[in-house]
Amino acid sequence: MRASPDARSASSTTSAPRAVSERIHPEAHAFGLVTELYDRARPEYPDAAIALLRERLALGPGRTLLDLAAGTGKLTRPLAASGADVVAVEPVAEMRALLPPDVTALDGTAEAIPLPDASVDAVAVGQAFHWFRPQEALREIHRVLRPGGSVALVWNTRDPEDALQRDVSEMLARRGWIGRRERLDVAAELALSGLFGRVEETRLPHEQLLDDAGIVDRFLSESFVANASPTDRQDFERELRVRTAALPRPIVLPYVTEVFVARCD
């Protein structure tokens, strides 16, 4: 559904944004190069996580949700199905172009959200908070939330108990390709802000079923792989194909879906 009038009016009163290269983390530029690959290869969110988000954020008709750093709409689509009015903010134009047409899509970043104060009931961030400057972003999230509003930070993370995921993580680490999520203490950042109450943490099992092309595409869609040289990407792809050659098809790739929810103090 389309956003509320307050949310729509913000886009017409906000000054022209700086170039995307000046506003987002340098490594995140790669998403503009692999947008369709990202949308095709990355996992959806499990039904249990979507149900949890709808409940904790009280989503439904008459409520306004901000999907911040919405990407290609992996989280936008299932949350918009709740009937809530959804505003999707995304700085990468190529990703923003793939957002569903029935939501209001705005150019913007977490550190400069193009919405008025107290204009949304809830904020969701899928697979993106690790790209933000966390304390600046949390202040902005708090600013746009109405009193009593909640924020949800969500990730599909590689399951460290799975042998294939462990092997792929080792292959990436050996090349110096370490994801930013692994270096982020989410609960600590929320507590440090002093703006939110108790953090509710939930972890849910999830998996992807992938064919030969799908398993390669899944990891080529990672920003650090997309940013690598063609030679390094080809070397990684060869090693990945060797590692997965003997596995049954479809290849089962397990995840842990992490959901952090906190309410405005």
pLDDT tens across the length of the chain (265 residues): 444 434 433 433 343 344 454 577 666 566 777 899 999 999 999 999 999 999 999 999 999 999 999 999 999 999 999 999 999 999 999 999 999 999 999 999 999 999 999 999 999 999 999 999 999 999 999 999 999 999 999 999 999 999 999 999 999 999 999 876 667 899 999 999 999 999 999 999 999 999 999 999 999 999 889 999 999 999 999 999 999 999 999 999 999 999 999 999 8
DSSP, res 210: E
- Per-residue b/e over 200-237, b at no fewer than 16 CB within 10 Å? eebebebebebeeeebbbbbbbbbbbbbbeeeeeeebe
- pLDDT number for residue 14: 40
pLDDT confidence of residue 181: 64
pLDDT for res 158? 94
Query: Please, what are the domains in the chain?
Result: 5-158+179-209+254-263 (3.40.50.150)
Q: What was the pLDDT predicted at 101? A: 95
In one-letter notation, the amino acid at residue 134 is P
Instruction: Report in angstroms the alpha-carbon separations of 225 from 2, 27, 204.
Output: 35, 10, 26
Q: How far is CA 259 from CA 27, 102, 154, 185, in A?
A: 24, 25, 5, 13
Which of 260, 169, 183 has the alpha carbon at shortest distance from 222? Answer: 169
Please answer whether residues 177 and 228 qualify as being in contact, where contact means their C-beta atoms are separated by less than 8 angstroms. Answer: yes
- Please tell me whether residue 259 adopts helix, strand or coil conformation: strand
If you compute the radius of gyration of the chain from its CA atoms, what whole number of angstroms results? 18
- At 28 the pLDDT is 58
Cite the DSSP H helix spans in 116-208: 134-144, 163-174, 186-193
Report d(CA 36, CA 201) in Å as an integer.
Answer: 31
Residue 6 DSSP one-character state? H
Q: How far apart are CA 189 and CA 177, in angstroms?
A: 23
